[in-house]
Amino acid sequence: MTAFQAPTGTRDVLAPESARIEQLVATFAGLCRRAAYGLVLSPMFEDAGVFRRGVGEASDVVTKEMYEFEDRGGRLLALRPEGTASVVRAYVQHRPPVPFKSWYVTPAFRYERPQAGRYRQHHQFGVEAIGSADPDLDVEVVALLDEYLRAAGLSKLVLRINSMGDDECRPGYLAALEVFLAAHADELCGEHREGWARNPLRVLDCKREECVALRPEMPVLSSMRCDNCEHHFARVVAGLDALGVGYQFDDFLVRGLDYYTRTTFEFGSLALQSAQNAVGGGGRYDKLVAALGGPETPGIGFATGIERVLLALDAEGAAPAGEDGVDLFVVDLTGGASARDLTHQLRRLGFSAERAFDQRSMKAQLRQADRSGATVAIIVGEDELARRQVTARVLRGPDAHHQESFDVDDLAPSLQKLLAGARP
């Protein structure tokens, strides 16, 4: 029978590679906890309308990339292509106290052309902070992403920021942009020549040569921002300065949808090719809660791709995560029962411990112990068993080959000492 393969654009991650992801999860969760963001879990699929409205009917994600399907009950559902819309839907449904500061880790599904750093299922961390329009919250959110990326091990980063304006200044700007685009439609890229009117803002961050070439002449919002937006942005910039978070202004960094307002930001990796160099980004969405049926409520968030961060770490040549071996490997020459009981006891004492199964030879068990990355092998033979002792043999590190016997009933302190000495 032919064996199945993971679907195109998806991949399996097994240990030890997955240890890097485990570390990123721990890093992100730890930073979120310290900043008082709570974990939110929500369904992997939603009424397709949540994403149609929450991500935007005109967005590529919705028009070209979303996995939509009808379930057996005839409901039109979609697999989550990103995290924000679901969290905002959950906020509207449950109305928790504000500010509602939440974080998530989730797979995201997008029918894209698979290539390095672009998958049909990728994984994201994100935060959403709903219920405050305070520019200090923008600073907190941007600084949190900066902290995370640096804690993950990245250093070749560039942060671009912009402000998209609000109901007061955006309409005037859009009108000016439309006049410009109508006059230059022939010079736009193939997609935007016909389609620019559906969502003029998208032309700004179009990466195709023709659109990019027009940038120097395009009207930009920074010259037309209203006082409130100007004041908000100034406060964000002052906050980033105060916290020592470096940034560049970028008039062309837009979230091309009406419910995105004011602050937008994106971290790029200087070590990656430009088409796939975004390691994380986000922005303010002061009209999104209302777009999903809630009361007018401001919010801001970001998402960062796990695979993209790993790719950037590799491209930077950042040190891979430390070896993921267990502390102890129990080698049992008495038939298996000692290994069963000892591993259980050792794990209860707080050690990580592994054993061999299927009553293999001592040689085979020691080979497996070595492969497991264990620091110390705990060997139990008939003699040791009779004396209620074990032999501990150091397998790696400066004390490799050192061997000592310990009483089974007093293992913890002796093993702790041995492990501490054996680790470089």
- Binding status of residue 124 toward ligand AMP by CB under 6 A: yes
Among 45, 51, 119, 259, the residue binding ligand AMP under the rule CB under 6 A is: 119
CB 267, CB 146: distance < 8 Å: yes
Nearest Cα neighbor of 211 from 170, 175, 252, 173 is 252
CB 222, CB 262: distance < 8 Å: no
- Binding status of residue 202 toward ligand AMP by CB under 6 A: no
Residue 125 Cβ, how far from ligand AMP at the closest point, in Å?
9
CB 329, CB 377: distance < 8 Å: yes
Nearest Cα neighbor of 345 from 403, 411, 417, 420 is 411
Size of the site for ligand AMP (CB under 6 A): 17
Residue 117 Cβ, how far from ligand AMP at the closest point, in Å?
6
Stretch that binds ligand AMP, among 118-126, 172-180, 318-326, 382-390 (CB under 6 A): 118-126
The nearer residue to ligand AMP, 250 or 384, going by C-beta atoms, is 250
By CB neighbour count within 10 A (0-12 exposed, 13-18 middle, 19+ buried), where does 111 fall? middle
Residue 217 Cβ, how far from ligand AMP at the closest point, in Å?
27
Nearest Cα neighbor of 121 from 177, 65, 176 is 65
Residues 39-68 that bind ligand AMP (CB under 6 A): none
> What are the two backbone dihedrals, phi and then psi, of residue 343, each rounded to the nearest 5 degrees?
-60, -40
* Residue showing tokens 């921002």: 225
Determine the residue with CB nearest ligand AMP.
305
The nearer residue to ligand AMP, 126 or 298, going by C-beta atoms, is 126
Cα separation, 191 vs 27, whole angstroms: 40
Stretch that binds ligand AMP, among 71-79, 116-124, 142-150, 378-386 (CB under 6 A): 116-124
- Contact string 71-110 vs ligand AMP (x = CB under 6 A): -----------x---------------------------x
Nearest Cα neighbor of 276 from 154, 113, 403, 422 is 113
- Name the helix (H) or strand (E) containing 362: helix 362-371
- Contact string 290-309 vs ligand AMP (x = CB under 6 A): -------------xxx-xx-
Residues 248-287 that bind ligand AMP (CB under 6 A): 278-281
The nearer residue to ligand AMP, 213 or 275, going by C-beta atoms, is 275
The nearer residue to ligand AMP, 219 or 281, going by C-beta atoms, is 281
- Contact string 144-183 vs ligand AMP (x = CB under 6 A): ----------------------------------------
Cα separation, 241 vs 1, whole angstroms: 62
Residue 372 Cβ, how far from ligand AMP at the closest point, in Å?
32
Stretch that binds ligand AMP, among 69-77, 99-107, 119-127, 239-247 (CB under 6 A): 119-127
Stretch that binds ligand AMP, among 113-121, 313-321, 323-331, 404-412 (CB under 6 A): 113-121
What is the strand order of the sheet 68-70 is part of?
Answer: 45-47, 76-79, 68-70
- Name the helix (H) or strand (E) containing 191: helix 190-195
Residue 279 Cβ, how far from ligand AMP at the closest point, in Å?
5
Pairing of strands 299-305, 328-332: unpaired
Among 27, 60, 118, 290, the residue binding ligand AMP under the rule CB under 6 A is: 118
Contact partners, residue 135, CB within 8 Å, separation at least 6:
232, 233, 235, 236, 239, 263
Q: Please state the separation of Cα 338 from the chain's center in Å.
A: 42
Nearest Cα neighbor of 391 from 401, 406, 412 is 406
Residues of this chain that interact with ligand AMP (CB under 6 A) are 82, 110, 112, 117-119, 122, 124, 278-281, 303-305, 307-308
